[in-house]
Amino acid sequence: MPTDPVALLGRFGAALALGLLIGTQREFQHRREENGASSPYAGIRTFPLLALAGGLGAYLSAVLDSPWIVAAVLLAVGAFAVAAYRAGVARGDVGLTTEVAALVTTLLGALCLTGALGVVAAVGVAVAILLELKPESRRFVRALKEEELEAALKFAAVSALILPVLPDETYGPPPFDVVSPFKVWLMVVFISGISFLGYVLTKVVGATRGVGLTGLVGGLASSTATTLSFAERSKAKEALSGALAMGVFAAWAVMFARVLVEAGVVNRPLLGAVWPAITAGGVAGLAYAAFLWARNRKAEKEGEADPDEQAAFTNPFELKSALAFGALYAVILVVSKAAEMYLGTTGLYASAVASGLADVDAVTLSMAELSGPGGSVDLDTAATAVTLAAASNTVVKGGIVVATGSAAMRKAILPGTAIVLAAMLVVGWWV
């Protein structure tokens, strides 16, 4: 805990700010549910006071060297929460959300004085967001199918039980010495988590909330699936081809963002080498999407798609899909290492282009692994390989539109595809 008065004031200020944020959300939520009435238990004033109580308790505990002060504060807040809950039950309200939020806010206030302030602030904001997402979370649960929940639970159980016991070592001679069971499954969990985020967002917002928004969240789940879905839809509703093309480029831009996130998480130095070309492709895709939106804003109305025409995304937590990605990742690791060993840099680039036809995530992660500490590939070569894989994947998705989309959508997609490819390859070549 800091002893400088300015630093202490800053931490108390952070506790006050988090309390205000959560209290404001609770106040508005109660007014929405009770036709404008203020919260009978805790609102915009009480929550900041609870956060300050937690902070003062932590400060006194440090000054007096007694952790019991914080415990006493939490017990007092808990007693208030119990009393408020009993009063709510008497009124017919059996919810516990506000009472639990009060305890969490008190703990956050205490941690503002003793913990890592950035982490505490992030948790506080997450609490406020979770409280605000009540309608969306309920909508998600209503839209969730039983088999989807079962698949997610099975995958979570398999990951939690198997990942910790998988050996983090390689087997066999080169090029097979790059495959570690632990790292392969860790990458499966990582990519499935990103894809599941997009899958959840699609369930929450629905594909009828707007083509552009659907493209963005669809890109988190699968930019290829989004491209195929929109291209097929353009045949049934050719008037929406321009808007659907805009959604496709939004999904592609998110794909480039995924590459940057994957590189940054697995191998930070690779991010420094690959970001110019990948960012150029993403910015070009977004710029062309904005151009299409401006050109078609009079002809296209957001949310015009039919409910049964939602982009079809499969649950990324299906064990079969997860195992398929793990196998693909392992194969690309071995093939890339073998190509680099026996064919040199040219062979590595060729394998990246071929692998990118199917999946950019697996190529990105394999290059991040091979260019990491002790790896056999230098950063510039790995960055070029990732760029080539992204370029080949973009070509494939452009081909999907040519093969399955309407004539109007093909006309809208092809110039943008060329622009994205040119931006990526030119920047990758010169930087």
- DSSP per residue, 360-392: HHHHHHHHHHHTSTT-SS-HHHHHHHHHHHHHH
Q: How many domains does the chain have?
A: 2
Plot region of 32 (φ>0 → left; ψ -120 to 50 → alpha; else → beta): alpha
- Asked if the model's pLDDT at residue 304 lies above 50, the reply is no
Least confident of 44-48, 262-266, 328-332: 328-332
- Which contacts qualify for 357-360: CB closer than 8 Å, 24 or more apart? 357/392, 357/393, 357/396, 358/328, 359/325, 359/328, 359/393, 360/255, 360/258, 360/259, 360/386, 360/389, 360/390, 360/393
Last residue of a domain, one of 71, 98, 132: 132
Residue 406 structural domain: 140-430
| One domain, residues 331 and 418 | yes
Q: What pLDDT is attached to residue 298?
A: 54
Q: What pLDDT is attached to residue 267?
A: 92
Q: What pLDDT is attached to residue 431?
A: 67
The CA distance from 418 to 66, in Å, is 67
Most confident of 64-73, 90-99, 314-323, 386-395: 386-395
| One domain, residues 152 and 101 | no
Q: What is the mean pLDDT of residues 97-111?
A: 90
pLDDT band at 287 (very low <50, low <70, confident <90, very high): very high
| One domain, residues 98 and 193 | no
| One domain, residues 341 and 379 | yes
| One domain, residues 247 and 158 | yes
| One domain, residues 48 and 128 | yes
- Asked if the model's pLDDT at residue 278 lies above 90, the reply is yes
Q: What pLDDT is attached to residue 236?
A: 74
The CA distance from 331 to 363, in Å, is 10
| One domain, residues 342 and 214 | yes
Nearest to 182 by CA among 8, 369, 51, 10: 369
Q: What pLDDT is attached to residue 420?
A: 95
| One domain, residues 99 and 149 | no
pLDDT band at 318 (very low <50, low <70, confident <90, very high): low
Q: What pLDDT is attached to residue 39?
A: 54
The CA distance from 117 to 135, in Å, is 30
| One domain, residues 300 and 372 | yes
Q: What is the mean pLDDT of residues 192-215?
A: 64
| One domain, residues 40 and 152 | no
Last residue of a domain, one of 132, 157, 186: 132
Q: What pLDDT is attached to residue 64?
A: 86
Global pTM reads: 0.63
Last residue of a domain, one of 132, 166, 189: 132
| One domain, residues 245 and 372 | yes
| One domain, residues 64 and 126 | yes
